[in-house]
Every structure is written in structure tokens, then in C-alpha cells.
Amino acid sequence: MKKPRTARVIRGRAKQLLTDYEITRPPVPVAALADALGIRVRYSPFDGELAGMLARGDDETIIGVNSLHHPNRQRFTIAHELGHFCLLHKGEVHIDRTFRINRRDAASSQAVKPDEIEANRFAAELLMPYDMIVDDLLERDIDVENEEQIKELAEIYKVSAQAMTHRLTNILQLYG
């Protein structure tokens, strides 16, 4: 099994995508980014826990998104599938049933495929870009245990409060 790319490498890839398309403020328009990359995004009600998929063909690439999921979850699915695409993961189809956005470390990564770890990291970096989050932390006095503050910030980025909590916790651990 291959070793996942580092968080720094994945952050750089996401940051480059944001720079290339001049995205400087949240929320990041992930569906528009997919379109700009020539990827069609299609919404359809999927059975069970299927969140989304990336299908690559000779002539087109499609991201399928479960239309039954919450819009924030759909945004994460698109960002996750963009991760597979931008990180050049092998294979013609990536099917994702569920994915966590928990902080990945040596212990937690043992039970998960490296490509999924990378796609999750990429999604977090794309939806909640490091530089934007750090700017928000510097501009506001955010307490990661204050649910209202987390919810307000999550609404700005169009992500779940849980995703924002994980992201802030991971970033703050870097400073700890």
C-alpha cells in the first residue's frame, strides 16, 4: 500500500487550484470549479450510503452526487471527487459510500485507503482553505467549543458544523 501524500502537498494542490481560478473568499464554488476543469457534475438519488462517484471516460469525466444528501454534504462530495481527479488517483471510477473528515494520523490511517485519506484532506483544504481559515481565526475570537461561533463560520463556508470543528481543531493543533 502506498503512503499518502503529506497534508502540506495536498494543501499546495488545493491552494494552486484556488489561485488558478482566483478564488479568495468562501464559500468555494466547487461545482463551478469542476465545470471549469471540464468535469460534469450530475445529481441523482443514490441508494444506500452512496455519496458520490468520479467516472472517467475517454471523452468526459463526470462527478455523480447523491441528490438526497444535504447541500453541504453534496459540496463535500464534489470536493472529495475533485481530490481524486486533481491528485491523479488511478482507475476509471471512484465510488465513495461514506467518508469521514476526521483528522488523519498514523493510527487512523491504517484502516483507510491512502487515496481516500488524500481525497478527504483535499476536500477539507478546498472547502475550508487553510489561509482563509487562519485569516478568520485572526479576525475573530473563535472558541472551538462555542457551537454558535462554529455554526456561524460553517455557514460562511457552506460546510457542516462538524466539518468546521474538525478543521479548526486540526489547524489549532498545528499552533499548539
How does residue 1 score in pLDDT terms, banded at 50, 70 and 90? low
Would strands 61-66 and 93-96 be described as parallel, antiparallel, or unpaired?
unpaired
pLDDT in tens, 87-146: 987 664 555 554 333 222 333 223 368 888 899 999 999 999 999 999 998 888 888 889
- Enumerate domains of the chain plus CATH numbers: 7-128 (1.10.10.2910)
Tell me what pLDDT residue 173 has.
78
Tell me what pLDDT residue 138 has.
86
Tell me what pLDDT residue 96 has.
55
pLDDT in tens, 151-160: 999 999 999 9
User: Higher confidence at residue 48 or residue 98?
Assistant: 48
Residue 116, all three cell numbers? 481516500
- Which DSSP string do the residues of 39-104 spell out, in sequence order? EEEEEEPPSTT--EEEEE-SS-EEEEEETTS-HHHHHHHHHHHHHHHHTT-SSSEEEES----PPP
Cα separation, 31 vs 123, in Å, equals 13
Q: What is the average pLDDT score of the chain?
A: 85
> Whole-model pTM?
0.85
Evaluate whether 83 touches 99 at the Cβ level (below 8 Å). no
Evaluate whether 65 touches 52 at the Cβ level (below 8 Å). yes
Tell me what pLDDT residue 175 has.
60
Cα separation, 31 vs 154, in Å, equals 18
